[in-house]
Chains A and B, each alone.
Chain A
Amino acid sequence: MHYLVSVIDDQSSSGTPDEMAAIDAFNERLQAEGHWVFAGGLAAPSAATVIDNRGGEALFTDGPFLESKEYLAGFWIITAPDLDVALKLAAEGSKACNRKVEVRPFL
């Protein structure tokens, strides 16, 4: 079972060196214990471009699709047998990156 663990941020500064070190340690643990699928940090929402090609002609819009105080700063995709395991891992991830996280199952 795969879960998306989204990192929710509300500050503009990126991770501190301490946070980065804690994230690295957490990632290594995910890999060692077989929970790792993929992970990555994202550039600021202002670097986003929205594309709408539903009408057959691609329209590009500068900026995120949703302006909000909180935004997605990065994510993990983990594999876990059930939500209890996923929640525990996510709690450690939240501590490591010092941000709120959201756990959402893949279909």
Chain B
Amino acid sequence: MSATDAREAISRAHQAEWARVVAALTRRFGDLDIAEEAAAEAFATAVERWPADGVPPNPGAWLTTTANRKAVDRIRRENKRDDKQKEARMLYDDAPPEPLGAIDDERLRLIFTCCHPALAMQTRVALTLRMVGGLTVPEIAHAFLVRPTAMEQRITRAKAKIKAARIPYRVPSAEDLPARICGVLAVLFLLFNEGYLATSPDTGPVRHDLTAEAIRLTRLVHALMPDDGEVTGLLALMLLTEARRTARISVSGELVPLHEQDRGAWDRSLIDEGHRLVRERLATGVAPGRYQILAAINAVHTFARDVRDTDWSQIVALYDQLVRLDHSPIVALNRAIAVAELDGPEVALAAVDRLEHHLAAYHAYHATRAELLRRLGRSHQSRAAYGKAIELTGNTAETTYLTRRRDQLR
């Protein structure tokens, strides 16, 4: 077997099996730390052995067996050193979880534990990327622009808290499930958004590695909970957003707003998949949650082959529905942008100005005002608003776009 073939097999196995191996070992040994280390060692062994020995017929089983052996070795070593290590095992709930419309997969327990509400948001993201996504600590550190030692510390502390405070390794009860799924989706959405509109001037404006990983993890959660409307909604939302990724940044690295994008450059297969998921949810007749409504809004946008064909009244109606569920001023801001297309910039500007109190530090608030003021011919105020937006954004593509727009005004 060539070294390249073996490398590809390992990379495929890593994508497909990492979370499964970590989850199975966590169940058996009741300890995330042991599971993570043993899984990493098993993959390192595969890197050594597969090029010479060939890829085993069932790579997943091989990796799980190897990891199990590594974990047992570690526990034996530690038991000799300190019998206390045997204590403080994680709690594992043996009761079968409530039926979720999918097979009970160990990976679900892993996801819910990593996204536990008692952990800080950034910690949940990091832990999910490590335990479920299988990214290395330096990769995660790079994604969040922190030093690897700092990220290592954050993950180590989280594992210690899970153990000391007894964060359970189980799928939450039916009563708690909607709120806990919401927490998992927030983690995935944050990861996706950081990739889609990177907030730091030190990275590229769009970070495909992060959006791809967010989609991969959301696909996994969707496969595990196919009947959950909000999981489906978030996946559709990500696909319909990702479909526009390449059209969103010009060759010169400038942000291209939706109405100026070359719609021929959108990824049709992602759009088709996203539309299919949105239709699937509509067909259930169940009232949609916020991710499903956001996905529907994006479905309307991507349905229009030309920006002039956009059904703005439908978009405003969806935002009206969203505003009732989500009182965030950012939702109100986005609604106002749609209102501008339907009722004109003056009505929209009045709605935007009412949000100043909440959004004065948010770049998109000023960028939206700048755009509306420009359309109303109030150039002087528009320039000032562009200036504010430029000051507040960290995204390089957005800075370039806003600067050009401002400098066009006299």
Contact = CB atoms under 8 A, between A and B. Distances in A.
Interface of A: 1, 3, 81-84, 86-87, 103-105, 107
Interface stretch (B65-73, B166-174, B208-216, B358-366): B166-174
A107 B165 CA distance: 9
B352 to A, nearest CB: 35
Contact of B164 (A84, A86, A87, A107): A107
Contacts of A87: 117-118
B176 interface: yes
B165 A83 contact: yes
Q: Which of A81, A82, A105 has the most CB of B within 10 A?
A: A82
Contacts of A82: 91, 166-168
A1 to B, nearest CB: 5
Contact of B168 (A83, A104, A105): A83
Contacts of B168: 81-84
Interface string B153-164: 000000000001
Given A81-B91, A84-B172, A1 B118 contact: no
A33 B116 CA distance: 25
Contacts of B91: 81-82
A28 B279 CA distance: 51
A103 B166 CA distance: 12
A87 B172 CA distance: 13
SS class of chain B's interface: helix, strand, loop or mixed? loop
Nearest to B90: A82
A77 to B, nearest CB: 15
A74 to B, nearest CB: 21
7 contacts: A82-B166, A82-B167, A83-B118, A83-B167, A105-B165, A105-B166, A107-B164
Interface in B64-89: none
Nearest to A3: B165
A65 B225 CA distance: 51
Interface in B101-141: 116-118
A98 B304 CA distance: 52
B321 to A, nearest CB: 30
Contacts of B165: 3, 83, 86, 103-105
Given A81-B168, A82-B91, 11 more contacts: A3-B165, A82-B168, A83-B165, A83-B167, A84-B167, A84-B168, A84-B176, A86-B165, A87-B117, A103-B165, A105-B166
A61 B164 CA distance: 34
Contacts of B116: 83
Contacts of A86: 165
Nearest to B180: A84
Q: Which of A3, A103, A104, A105 has the most CB of B within 10 A?
A: A105
A105 B176 CA distance: 22
A107 B160 CA distance: 12
A3 B165 CA distance: 8
Contacts of B167: 82-84
Nearest to B167: A83
Contacts of A1: 166
Contacts of A107: 164
Nearest to B176: A84
Contacts of B117: 87
A44 B225 CA distance: 51
Nearest to A106: B164
In the A-B complex, the 4 residue pairs with the closest CB atoms? A82-B168, A105-B165, A82-B166, A83-B165
A90 B166 CA distance: 15
Interface in B357-405: none
Nearest to A84: B168
Q: Which of B117, B165, B176 has the most CB of A within 10 A?
A: B165
Nearest to A87: B118
Contacts of A84: 167-168, 172, 176
